[in-house]
Amino acid sequence: MNRLILKYAYPLTAVILVIFAVVVYQRDSRGSGILPLADAALVGWLLGAPAFVYFWPRITVHGFKSAIVRRGFSGGPIPVNTLYAEPTRSSGAASTGSLISTGTDDVLYVAGWLDLKAGPQVLQVPDMADRYYSLQFTDPATGANFAYVGKRTTGTTAGEFLLTGPGWTGTVPPAMTRIAVPGRTALIIGRVFVDSSVGSVDRDSNNDDEPIAYALARRLRLVPAGQPTGTPS
């Protein structure tokens, strides 16, 4: 939703304004006497539409932050710089206590709030054995995704990614890939594929692949840069 608003904000605004102007003109030409009201509505729209486009993505992302660090998923609040993985797939029948209660049925969700106030963080990714997964990084200042880690962008082999904030001038350690975070904070949302064809074909029954996917999702970790991390595998 935020991506569509950001991408098509100005064309949509122009179309709505044209439609609004046509309706006002037609009613005024019939002597409806609504021109003063139309002028007020037009001024309100001209002021309100840009404000909505600017603030809505920010409000949405910070809403996620509040939900993550205060309520979290069904497991409770998630500390800053911690990635939490849901142990089961989400669906329309999921508990209302879950942060993500709807969505595609074939993934486990991962979420966390990144804060680089204390310095860079390292994202550890295990060997995903060609399994689809993705982690998207969203800038709370714009609501736009600025980086992806996953099968389609970085592959599925084990690796480490150095997450740095504005003004960072250090050296990227060997074998690490740097991700520059536009601001000091970011929302991280991840997905790890669960193969429903493994084990039972009934989505509501036990699935042999789900615990395997969950074990991999739990190994997606954030650790402070400079702290011994070991080698992901």
Q: Inform me whether the pLDDT recorded for 95 exceeds 70.
A: no
Residue 78 in domain = no
- Which sign does the torsion angle of CA 152, 60, 166, 230 carry? negative
Residue 231 in domain = no
Please indicate, yes or no, whether residues 198 and 132 belong to a single structural domain of this protein: yes
Domain ranges, residue 8: 2-71
Please indicate, yes or no, whether residues 100 and 198 belong to a single structural domain of this protein: yes
Q: What is the pLDDT of residues 46-79, one digit of tens each?
A: 666 665 556 556 666 666 667 777 766 666 788 9
Please indicate, yes or no, whether residues 39 and 88 belong to a single structural domain of this protein: no
Residue 79 in domain = no
Please indicate, yes or no, whether residues 55 and 109 belong to a single structural domain of this protein: no
The number of distinct structural domains making up the chain is 2
Q: Looking at residue 156, what is its pLDDT?
A: 97
Q: Inform me whether the pLDDT recorded for 144 exceeds 50.
A: yes
Following DSSP, what letter does each residue of the chain receive, concatenated? -HHHHHHHHHHHHHHHHHHHHHHHHHHHHTT---HHHHHHHHHHHHHHHHHHHHHHHHHHHHHHHHIIIII-BTTB---TT--EE-SS---TTS-TTSS--SS-TTEEEEEEEEE-TTS-EEEEE---TT--EEEEEE-TTT--EEEEEETTTT-SS-EEEEEE-TT----PPTTEEEEE-SSSEEEEEEEEE--TTSS-S-TTS--THHHHHHHHHHT-EEEETTS------
- Mean pLDDT value of segment 8-30: 67
Please indicate, yes or no, whether residues 42 and 107 belong to a single structural domain of this protein: no
Pick the last residue of a domain from 13, 43, 71: 71
Please indicate, yes or no, whether residues 215 and 172 belong to a single structural domain of this protein: yes
Task: Look over the chain and give the mean of its residue pLDDT values, rounded to a whole number.
Answer: 78
CATH number at residue 145: 2.60.40
19-28, 121-130, 191-200: least confident range: 19-28
Residue 22 in domain = yes
Q: Inform me whether the pLDDT recorded for 224 exceeds 80.
A: yes
Q: How far apart are CA 12 and CA 32, in angstroms?
A: 27
- pLDDT tier at 89 (50, 70, 90 boundaries)? confident
Q: Looking at residue 165, what is its pLDDT?
A: 95
Please indicate, yes or no, whether residues 111 and 63 belong to a single structural domain of this protein: no
Please indicate, yes or no, whether residues 170 and 193 belong to a single structural domain of this protein: yes
Residue 57 in domain = yes
Please indicate, yes or no, whether residues 163 and 94 belong to a single structural domain of this protein: yes
Name the more confident of 166 and 36: 166
Please indicate, yes or no, whether residues 27 and 118 belong to a single structural domain of this protein: no
Amino acid residing at 194: V
Please indicate, yes or no, whether residues 114 and 135 belong to a single structural domain of this protein: yes
Residue 37 in domain = yes
Q: What is the pLDDT of residues 192-220, one digit of tens each?
A: 999 987 765 454 555 689 999 999 999 99
Name the more confident of 180 and 55: 180
Q: Looking at residue 60, what is its pLDDT?
A: 64
Residue 213 in domain = yes
Residue 183 in domain = yes
